[in-house]
């Protein structure tokens, strides 16, 4: 059994580039419809897959902006959370909670990517 989150975004190409630059994601698959519109991009972040698709309201595929924000919080572990958070912000993301050492033994923060998705960027203490 496997589970692959699929984020609905306005433009999968732009989102794929963002996650590649901010999180070191690698593109592993891409599919387009007959008109050439990208319908899915599958990325690999570390050992985890992440899919991206465009918003298609008639299918019920709505982006966070379409529904007033994201009800989902994605957690991703990195060795250098600070660098990832800096790259996310440089690419258009915003800090919700700064990356800091937490009393429960993790260094983490919370960010919103430019597409409205919420992330916990976590990892070992520094």
Residue 112 DSSP SS3: strand
Question: So what's the pLDDT on residue 6?
Answer: 97
CA pseudo-torsion sign 114, 115, 117, 121: negative
CA atoms of 81 and 120, how far apart (whole Å)? 10
Compute the distance between CA of residue 122 and CA of residue 46 in angstroms, rounded to an integer: 14
Tens of pLDDT along 36-77? Answer: 999 999 999 999 999 999 999 999 999 999 999 999 999 999
Instruction: Give the single-character DSSP code of 13.
Output: H
- CATH 3.30.720.120 maps onto the chain at 1-58
**pLDDT at 97 (0 to 100):** 98
What is the arithmetic mean of pLDDT over 13-22? 98
Do 52 and 20 contact (CB within 8 A), yes or no? no
* Per-residue DSSP letter, 55: -
Amino acid 126: pLDDT: 87
Pairing of strands 73-77, 118-123: parallel
Residue 124, pLDDT above cutoff 90: yes
DSSP per-residue codes, 16-54? HHHHHHHH--EEEEEEE-TTS-EEEEEEEETTEEEEEEE
Tens digits of residue pLDDT in 68-115: 999 999 999 999 999 999 999 999 999 999 999 999 999 999 999 999
Q: Which residues of the chain are in CATH 3.10.180.10 domains?
A: 69-126
pTM of the model as a whole: 0.94
The yes/no answer on whether domain 69-126 falls in CATH 3.10.180.10 is yes
CA angle centred on 74, ends 68 and 77, rounded to 5°: 150
Which CATH number fits the domain 1-58, given the four candidates 3.40.50.700, 1.20.1260.60, 2.60.120.200, 3.30.720.120? 3.30.720.120
Q: How many CB atoms lie within 10 A of CB 37?
A: 10
């Amino acid at each position: 059994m496997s589970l692959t989150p699929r984020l609905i975004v306005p433009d999968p190409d732009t989102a794929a580039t963002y996650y590649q630059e901010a999180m070191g994601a690698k593109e592993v698959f891409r599919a387009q419809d007959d008109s050439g519109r990208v319908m899915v991009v599958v990325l690999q972040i570390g050992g985890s897959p992440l899919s991206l698709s465009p918003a298609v309201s008639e299918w019920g595929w709505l982006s966070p902006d379409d529904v007033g924000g994201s009800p989902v919080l994605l957690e991703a572990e990195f060795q250098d959370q600070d660098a990832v958070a800096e790259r996310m912000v440089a690419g258009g993301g915003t800090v919700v909670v700064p990356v800091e050492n937490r009393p429960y033994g993790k260094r983490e923060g919370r960010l919103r990517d430019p597409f409205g998705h919420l992330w916990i960027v976590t990892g070992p203490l520094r």
